[in-house]
Amino acid sequence: MRWYWNSENGNEEAAKFQKAFPTLALEFERNTHSACVRGVLPITPNIGYTVSLKLPSNYPKGIPTLWIARNEIPWLADRHINEASGEGCLCVRSEYRLHWPIGSDLATFIDRLVRPYFAAQLFYETHGYWPKNAARSHGKDGIIEAYRELSIPFGNDSSQIIENLMRLLARKGPPKGHELCPCGSGLRLRNCHFDVLQRLRNNIAPEHAKADLEMMFPSIPRENERRDSHFLVRSNRMK
């Protein structure tokens, strides 16, 4: 398979990106079949942030990683930055494809994830607090906030339903119509929220949901997600 950036689609995307963001440079690393974006992204006419965005070798399937300049923003968890590596936390893992759906290009990634991230950082530096609804809480609280929003279409955002949903999204295999719906109604998926769940699964990678699940519930065994999901829904219905 040809490297993506040597393909017609890759060339078109690169040209579109450079036109949209002339202060950023798309640089290619042919030995590793990866690429990176470097430069300064203006947030206001007078203020910009250094961008160091690593694109994985399996781009556009893989998700880019943003590294933060330590001299511009302190590497603190409360600033949504990994304190050890300097990786910026743009959103909860499971939300990446909701903001940047499969088929979206690099310019869209900058517009929907990187620019808002730096805009929120600038707001925090100016005012001492985060803009409303612009940033998740750090760690487990942020995961709960994200999944509470994902649970809205199910008509129930209780902790039990959130866990049920996380377990179904974390499974590698697709949900079956005869399984119980994670909403706690007691109905089978095919007669309840099957389409809603399928749309979420189309945009949330199981490995991302699994990582969120294990952060939230590190002590719960994972051997049989299907059994656990059925049990959790039944136990919720019986309360």
- Map residue 85 onto helix, strand or coil: coil
Instruction: Of 154, 159, 194, give the one whose Cα is nearest residue 174.
Output: 194
Domain contains 97? yes
In this structure, the answer to whether residues 230 and 160 fall within a common structural domain is yes
Higher pLDDT, 231 or 157: 157
Q: What is the CATH number of the domain that holds 93?
A: 3.10.110.10
In this structure, the answer to whether residues 123 and 31 fall within a common structural domain is yes
Domain contains 84? yes
Domain contains 120? yes
* CA gap 77, 89 in Å, rounded: 9
In this structure, the answer to whether residues 80 and 14 fall within a common structural domain is yes
Q: What are the beta bridge partners of residue 16?
A: none
pLDDT tens track for 129-174:
999 877 788 788 889 999 999 999 998 888 888 999 999 999 988 8
In this structure, the answer to whether residues 121 and 23 fall within a common structural domain is yes
Domain contains 134? no
pLDDT tens track for 169-205:
999 888 889 999 999 999 999 999 999 999 999 889 8
Residue range(s) defining the domain that contains residue 21 = 4-127
Domain contains 119? yes
* CA gap 16, 21 in Å, rounded: 9
Contact 11/106 with Cβ under 8 angstroms?
Answer: no
Look at residues 127, 157, 188 and tell me which one is the last residue of a structural domain: 127
Look at residues 80, 106, 127 and tell me which one is the last residue of a structural domain: 127
Domain contains 102? yes
In this structure, the answer to whether residues 17 and 83 fall within a common structural domain is yes
In this structure, the answer to whether residues 12 and 109 fall within a common structural domain is yes
Question: What pLDDT does residue 172 have?
Answer: 86
Look at residues 64, 99, 127 and tell me which one is the last residue of a structural domain: 127
pLDDT tens track for 90-124:
998 889 988 999 889 999 999 999 999 999 999 99
Phi, psi (deg, nearest 5) at residue 97: -75, -15
In this structure, the answer to whether residues 27 and 96 fall within a common structural domain is yes
Question: What pLDDT does residue 219 have?
Answer: 61
Residues 6+ apart with CB under 8 A from 112: 99, 100, 104
Domain contains 133? no
| Entry pTM | 0.79
In this structure, the answer to whether residues 147 and 123 fall within a common structural domain is no
Number of domains in the chain: 2
